[in-house]
């Protein structure tokens, strides 16, 4: 998993069309697990590539993949394929050379441990389901562990608060051990979900769409919203209107990511052409947010459509000004920036654990909205703990003003983002009808006396 020291503030929230990293440990894990499973029987669809998380699921109803018989079949198949997995890993290690051997050996150890747990155990499935000591909390028959991902960024503030102030741990109870995994991008988070390395993650809209599409609609479900707002087009002096953008170069976090898609859609609406290679009336340069700040200061780019806190940093540290606050583009200023996704099989097998997770999220959202000073302090403390560097108070305060924290996933904006990505040639058409499962969220909102929210 990513080292806590590698996580940058406000990193890219993931690409819609960004190809998997061939050298990513998550993708090596996914490849090996996929190869191992295919050795025991035919696979098809997305599972042929992302089989490490059993993405090509045969699940026919809620919780089907978590039933004892299915778990036994998957355990036995992995045990049979384990020698083949070791063989292919050895080939991979020889292929990539000595400099890559340590990361791959780490993956080998992880796969070996997973295989030992799944294939060598002589205990029955009921014993395996409580092997982590889940005898208290949300249902003793459910998993005793939750691996939860998020970004060390202000747009993920409720997630940071939920860990920093212990809300998730308290709502999950002593019977569920929660492990936090920190990501730099939505692409990394989806790779980890596909490989089976995490059970749930806070993530941006376009990476969620991408993961859903790549898995044939099987791998994940959006179970709650988290954050709205917090993205802007910041430009240099001399650019005062859309008409001034002809011939300029604008940056985005990565090709096809949430802000990249938003910029391309906005430029199209204003009569500009921009292709994925950087050509057109306006040149779009996908690059890391930290590089965007540097190149903006140097005058190598004219502006950038970026998430917080980078928009505020471009203003405060780069002398830029906001040309477009993305809230002004959407009805009522509301659009999804971050939401919570859960592995579909995990959701079906562990509804009470997910219920407890969403309960903690609602409490964190309450703090973010009702006590901004406390929330900013907790968020910045979490960012510093994860990245070793806190944000300046002026930066986090400025970013906070552009954010709204809500459990509503704002489904209509997700549908629009998907349509914009398709129009830009960054995504094939996909039906998002089943991407939401808001049953648990709406039950909790009803218990609070709040109005429920809808999906697509």
- CATH architecture of the domain 231-333 equals 3-Layer(aba) Sandwich (3.40)
Q: Note the pLDDT of residue 47.
A: 33
DSSP one-letter string for 324-350: EEGGGGSGGG--EEEEEEEEHHHHHH-
pLDDT tens-digit series, residues 254-313: 999 999 999 999 999 999 999 999 999 999 999 999 999 999 999 999 999 999 999 999
Q: What is the pLDDT of the chain when averaged over all its residues? A: 79
Give the residue among 344, 85, 30 at the shortest CA–CA distance from 197.
Answer: 30
Q: How many CA atoms lie within 13 A of 416 on its CB side?
A: 15
Q: Note the pLDDT of residue 141.
A: 61
Mean pLDDT of successive 10-residue stretches along the chain, which has 456 residues: 44 45 48 42 33 29 35 40 47 44 44 43 33 42 89 97 98 96 94 98 96 97 98 98 98 94 97 95 96 98 97 98 97 96 98 98 98 98 97 97 98 96 95 97 98 95
Q: Which residues fall within 8 angstroms of residue 73, CB to CB, at 6 or more apart?
A: none
Give the residue among 227, 248, 351, 234 at the shortest CA–CA distance from 292.
Answer: 234
Q: Note the pLDDT of residue 142.
A: 79
Q: Which residues fall within 8 angstroms of residue 406, CB to CB, at 6 or more apart?
A: 225, 226, 227, 228, 334, 365
Q: For tokens 């990249």, name the residue.
A: 260
Give the residue among 118, 103, 111, 47 at the shortest CA–CA distance from 85.
Answer: 111
Cα-to-chain-centroid distance, residue 203: 3
Residue 182, strand partner residues = 150
Residues of the chain with CATH 3.40.190.10: 4-220+337-447, 231-333
Q: Note the pLDDT of residue 135.
A: 35
Residue 442 · residue 355 · CB < 8 Å: no
List phi, psi (to 5°) of 114: -65, -40
Q: Output the pTM of the full model.
A: 0.73
Q: Please, what CATH class does the domain formed by 4-220+337-447 belong to?
A: alpha beta
Q: Note the pLDDT of residue 296.
A: 98
Q: What angle do CA 182, 187, 193 make, to 5 degrees?
A: 70
What beta strand segments (E) does 38-105 contain?
Answer: none
Q: Note the pLDDT of residue 139.
A: 54
Give the residue among 208, 149, 209 at the shortest CA–CA distance from 183.
Answer: 149
Ramachandran assignment for 410, one of left (phi > 0), alpha (psi -120 to 50 degrees), beta (any other): left
pLDDT tens-digit series, residues 137-173: 555 467 799 999 999 999 999 999 999 999 999 999 9
């Amino acid at each position: 998993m990513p080292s806590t020291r590698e996580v940058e503030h406000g990193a890219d929230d993931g690409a819609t069309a960004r190809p998997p990293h061939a050298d990513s440990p998550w993708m090596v894990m996914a490849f090996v697990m996929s190869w191992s499973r295919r050795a025991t029987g035919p696979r098809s669809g997305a599972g042929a590539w992302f089989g490490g998380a059993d993405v090509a699921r045969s699940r026919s109803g809620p919780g089907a993949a978590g039933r004892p018989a299915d778990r036994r079949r998957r355990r036995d198949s992995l045990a049979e394929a384990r020698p083949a997995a070791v063989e292919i890993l050895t080939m991979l290690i020889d292929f990539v050379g000595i400099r890559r051997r340590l990361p791959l050996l780490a993956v080998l150890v992880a796969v070996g441990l997973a295989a030992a747990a799944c294939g060598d155990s002589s205990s029955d499935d009921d014993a395996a389901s409580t092997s982590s000591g889940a005898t208290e909390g949300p249902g003793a028959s459910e998993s005793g562990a939750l691996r939860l991902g998020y970004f060390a960024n202000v747009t993920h503030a409720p997630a940071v608060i939920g860990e920093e102030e212990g809300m998730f741990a308290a709502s999950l109870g002593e019977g569920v051990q929660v492990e936090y995994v920190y990501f730099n991008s939505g692409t990394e988070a989806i790779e980890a979900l596909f490989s089976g390395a995490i059970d749930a993650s806070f993530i941006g809209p376009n990476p969620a769409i991408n993961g859903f599409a790549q898995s044939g609609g099987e791998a994940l479900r959006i179970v709650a919203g988290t954050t709205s707002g917090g993205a802007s087009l910041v430009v240099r002096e001399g650019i005062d209107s859309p008409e001034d953008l002809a011939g300029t170069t604008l940056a985005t976090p990565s090709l096809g990511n949430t802000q990249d898609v938003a910029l391309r859609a906005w430029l199209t609406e204003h009569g500009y052409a921009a292709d994925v290679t950087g050509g057109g009336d306006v040149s779009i340069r996908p690059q890391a947010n930290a590089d965007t700040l540097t190149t903006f200061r140097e005058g190598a780019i004219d502006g950038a459509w970026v998430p917080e806190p980078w928009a505020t940093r471009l203003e405060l540290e780069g002398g830029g000004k906001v040309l477009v606050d993305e809230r002004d583009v959407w009805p009522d200023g509301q659009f999804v920036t971050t939401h919570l996704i859960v592995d579909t099989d995990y959701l079906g097998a562990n509804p009470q654990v997910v219920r407890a997770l969403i309960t903690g999220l609602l409490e964190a959202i309450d703090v973010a909205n009702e006590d901004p000073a406390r929330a900013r302090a907790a968020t910045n403390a979490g960012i510093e703990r994860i990245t070793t560097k806190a944000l300046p108070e002026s930066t986090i305060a400025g970013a906070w003003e552009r954010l709204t924290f809500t459990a509503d996933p704002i489904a209509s904006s997700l549908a629009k983002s998907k349509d914009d990505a398709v129009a830009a040639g960054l995504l094939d058409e996909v039906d998002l009808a089943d991407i939401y499962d808001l049953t648990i969220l709406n039950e909790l909102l009803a218990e609070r006396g709040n109005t429920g929210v809808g999906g697509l």
